[in-house]
Structure 1
Amino acid sequence: MLKKVDVLLIALSSPIQIGIYENNQLIDTIVSKDKSSDVLPSLYKKIFEKYNVERLLYANGPGSFMAIKVAYIFLKSISILKRIPLFATDAFYFNENQPIKAIGKLCFVKISSEIKTQKLEIAPSMEFKLPDVLDYNEFSTTVTPLYSIGAVG
C-alpha cells in the first residue's frame, strides 16, 4: 500500500523544489536545476509510482511567469485527469515575506494581503524554502497564476 501524501511544487526560480508531505510534515524533498517544462513529467511520474497523492499544491507567483504558467498547466492537467484537488498560495509563504525580484530594481512586495511592486536599491536573494510543516490555511482553491500583479516596467 502506497503512503498517502500531498505534493508541493515551488517552480518560481531555479532550482525547482518539490516537497512530499505526510500528515502536514515534510518527509521527502526533490530539487532540480532543470527547466520545469523538461523535468516535471518525469519527476511526477516517479512520485506517483512511489506515493498515493491526495493533494497537489504549488506557489502561483510572483516569480518567473513562464515557470509559473508551466507549473499551473502541468498541475491543473494532473488535477483534472487524476481527480486530485489542486491548491495554491503566493510565493511569500516560502520566503518569509521577503521582497521578490521583478525586473531591474523593481521587486514584488506583500503588504497586508496585497502584492505590489516597489523599487528597491538592493536586489533580494530570491531564496524559497519548503516548509517543514504545511499550514493548509495559507492555501486556496483559487489556483490560477498571479499574472495581474501591478505593472512592471
Structure 2
Amino acid sequence: MHDALVVALSSPVLIGVYKDGSLIEEIRDDGMSSDVLAEIFDDLLKRYTFEHFIYAKGPGSFMGIKVTYLFLKTLSITKKVPLLATDAFFFNQNSPIKAYGKLYFVKNSTEIELKPLTSPESVAFELPKTIDLEKFDSDNLPYYGIDAVG
C-alpha cells in the first residue's frame, strides 16, 4: 500500500508517492492544479493502491487549495481512502507564505497569523523524503486564512 501527498499551493504542483513512509516517486508539474491533478492521478491510480491521500490544506493559493481539496475529497469518498492534511508550513520549513501585497502568513507555535513583512526570506515548498502519518490529521478542511470579501 502507498500514500499520496499533494502540495498545490503555488507552482509547481508537487505530488509524492510514499511506501512505508519513504518517498518513492516525486512529480512536479508547472501547470495549474485544476489542469494537472486529474491527469496525474489517472496515471498513479493505475500503478498504485493508496492507503491515504494527504494534502497541504493552506494557507496559499485559494484556487489551488480549493481544487486540491475537492479533487482529493472526491477521490477519498469514491475510493474509500482516508484524506489527511496539515498546514503548508510543514512543507516550507515554517517560513512566511505570501498572502497579498506586503501581507504574509506566519506560524507562531500553533497559531497562523497574517502580518506585514517587507522582505521575508521565502522558502519553496518541498516534499519530505519521509513522512510520519501521525504528523497529519483527519481535520482536512481547507485553511484559507482570509475571509471572503463581500
Shared fold (TM-score, shorter chain, > 0.5): yes
TM-score, normalised with respect to structure 2 = 0.95
Is 1:145 matched with 2:139? Answer: no
Is 1:86 matched with 2:83? Answer: yes
- Per the alignment, residue 50 of structure 2 pairs with 53
User: What SS class does the counterpart of residue 15 from structure 2 fall into?
Assistant: strand
* Distance of 1:120 and 1:151 partners within structure 2: 20
CA deviations 1:86-124 (Å, max 9, x no partner) are 000000000110011111111000001000011111144
CA contact (8 A) 2:93 2:123 kept: no
Provide the aligned length of Structure 1 versus Structure 2. Answer: 149
Instruction: Supply the AA of the counterpart residue of 2:23.
Output: L
Change (3 A) 1:40 1:71: same
Instruction: Supply the AA of the counterpart residue of 1:94.
Output: F
RMSD of aligned Cα (Å):
1.6
* Distance of 2:115 and 2:32 partners within structure 1: 28
* Distance of 2:109 and 2:134 partners within structure 1: 16
- Per the alignment, residue 21 of structure 2 pairs with 24
User: What SS class does the counterpart of residue 74 from structure 1 fall into?
Assistant: helix
Bigger Cα displacement from structure 2, 135-144 vs 75-84: 135-144
* Distance of 2:147 and 2:85 partners within structure 1: 22
- Per the alignment, residue 127 of structure 1 pairs with 124
* Distance of 1:21 and 1:81 partners within structure 2: 21
CA deviations 1:114-138 (Å, max 9, x no partner) are 0001111114425101000102222
User: Percent identity of the aligned residues?
Assistant: 47
TM-score, normalised with respect to structure 1 = 0.93
Ranges of 4+ aligned residues in structure 1 off by more than 6 Å: none
